[in-house]
Each structure stands twice: as C-alpha cells, then as structure tokens.
Amino acid sequence: MDIRDTVIKIDLSAISHNIKTIHELIGADVAILAVIKANAYGHGAVQVAKTFMDAGVTYLGVATLSEAIELRNVYPDCPIFILGHTPDRFADIVVKNRFTQTVIDYGQALALSESALRAGTAAKVHLKVETGLVRLGMRDPDEAIRICALPGLEVEGLFSHLALAGAENDNMQWRRLCDFSDAMRNSGINLRYIHIADSVATVDRPEFRSNMVRPGSLCFGMHSWESDAFVDVRQSIRFETRVTQVHVLKPGEGAGYEYHWIAPGPGRSLIATLPFGYCDGYPRRLYERGYVTIRGKKCPFAGLIGMDQCMVDATAVPDVKQGDRVIIYGDGDGDGMSLQEAADLCGTFKNDIIARLTVRPPREYIHKQPDASPQKK
C-alpha cells in the first residue's frame, strides 16, 4: 500500500519487452549482462531482478559488493557480476557468495585465488583491460596470462569499457581489446566471453557485440544510442504525485523561499502545492526552467524547490483542486516531461537524472498487457 501521494511507477512488462527487443537485436549467440547498478537506475534492483532473469539475461551486473549482497540475500542462485573493484580484504565475501568479480590486477587475483583455495572452491572472474578510458584494468597481456595460471580461479571473460570519445577512439579501444585477447589465445588461453558494448554500442556498433553485451539504461527504455536506428524499447518508469493544496494569489504576492517567484498578474494566480522535493531526487536547479503536468497542461515551478515540497503555477488549469494527479516525469509524448528533457534542462544526461531518484518515494510495480504495436521513435 502506498503511504505517499508521491510515487514512482515501474512497468515490469516494459522491461520484459525491452530485454526481448535486445535479444532480437543481438541474436541468439550473444549473451546479455544486464546492468542494474544504482538500484537499477532508480527502479529498485531487488524488485526488478526477477523480471530480468525471467527474460533470459545471463548476468545481473552491479557496481559494488554491497549492491551484490543486497541481491544475493533475496536471490541465492542468481548469477551476479560485480563490475567495479572490490578491495582485497573482502575477497572471502566474494567467494562465499559466488559472485563473478571484475579483476583489475594480479594482486587482486591472488587474493581471490587464496580465498577460493581456503574455501575449497573456485572464484569466477572476468579480467578488466584498460584500453583508453583510463579508469580500471590492466594493459599487459602477460599479467593476464599470469593470473590465468593461479589456482582456484575460473577466468571466464575479458572486457573493457568504452570512453565514447568518437568513432576513431572507440575503434582503437576495440582493437586493443582484440589484440589483448589474441595475445592470450596465442598462449593457449581461450575465454568464454569478450565484451565491451554498453547500451550505446549495443545498438550503434554491432561489430563490438562479440558474444556478450552490457546494456543498462537501454533495458529501461531510455534512448541511449546516437544513430538513427529504430529500436522498439519502452520507458519503464514514471514519477507522479498529487496536489496537496491550492492557493489563490493576487498580482505582486510572492511564493516560496526568498520570494523567487512573484505573481505576475493582471489576474489571479493559482498556486498548487505538491508533496515532493529535492530529497526525492528531483533536481533543485530546475525551479527556473522545469515544470510538471496537470490535466495535460504544463505548470512551471513557482519559486525554489524545497526538500520535501514545492509549488507550481497552475493558473493554466482553472479548476485545479486538491488530489489532482500530477506527472513529474512521463514519456515526453504529451504525457509529462521526459527524462531526456529534464537532462537537457539541467545540462546533464538522463542517467544522471534517473540515478538521482532516492528510495524515499515508494515504488509501485505494475504489469501491463503487452502492446503488439511498436512505439513511435
């Protein structure tokens, strides 16, 4: 039961549809490592994980050990991949929970090897190659070859991360990963998975798909690619609330902290108070350019956005009343501000907008009947 008017609605059927679309795009021979880090981009990782597994992904990818443990506590047998670095002192936890761990250097591999030997098992790992993002990974194939010789390790894959610095640089990174893989293969080491494609490259660079892709925002229906390709994915998240109270202001009256907004006149202004704020993950800087949608009408903010509440100028909705439904983020197609528009207004990108959403607004998970018709581009 929702105990707030402010709620984030998650369409699980849209996620299922999106994974099916990605499977069709990449083909049966390419595995999906679905990235659900940052609380599944605000969707709720624990709550959406089963939808991903039922849709046939090979791995659920997270950024941190704590994110992995949260999933393991609910899903004891789910394949979980930690994309970020886990400090060596936590190697025993990685091994005990059967996480597939990113390995960035020999020292980390040695810690996992020793932990696995103590536990009488094998630690499954993927080796991270630094190809140009200059963030994590090794550059010397000889280091990777030494790692593969360690006991207690199952080295399953090799991967890297694109800097997305233009086609020429992307191609360079792909060549470096391939050269690294070739060097290992020439030493008799053949790994099951090679992967570098994120959401963007999964669509735009089919030659980078290899035999595994790592879509994140694409799984949630966000338009992440740069080409003109049409991919039938559907946004799976909406952010809504309801009007708490309506005030009538005369010309010249102020609203909100420091009276950043003054009723313009010549007639009255209708100010609707809404029960959400920047502690729910809404960007405070949008108070000057952002808006919500009430009964299909755009209602701009009236003054600064507070921690828990904000006000909007609802004069365009003459009969606005308490309890009216308010769309904070919709699909952008006449149904509220899109995530992309919010990102553009903030001078950032949509992953930043969606990752801001905090755990405070309750999530409502819904299953819609599948729609056979593709969405508009």
CB 346 within 8 A of CB 283: yes
Is 106 in the active site? no
Q: How far is it, in rounded angstroms, from Cα 86 to Cα 66? A: 10
> What CA–CA distances, in Å, run from 15 to 10, 68, 77, 169, 285?
9, 20, 21, 31, 30
Q: Are strands 59-62 and 80-82 parallel, antiparallel or unpaired?
A: parallel
Catalytic residue (one of 96, 257, 321, 368): 257
- Residue 349, classified by CB atoms within 10 Å of its CB into exposed (0-12), middle (13-18) or buried (19+), is middle
Nearest to 71 by CA among 114, 111, 100, 113: 100
* Residue 37 bears catalytic tag: yes
Helix (H) or strand (E) holding 116: helix 106-119
Contact present, 368 and 14 (Cβ < 8 Å): yes
CA 45 distance to own-chain centroid: 10
Q: Any idea which residues carry the catalytic annotation?
A: 37, 257
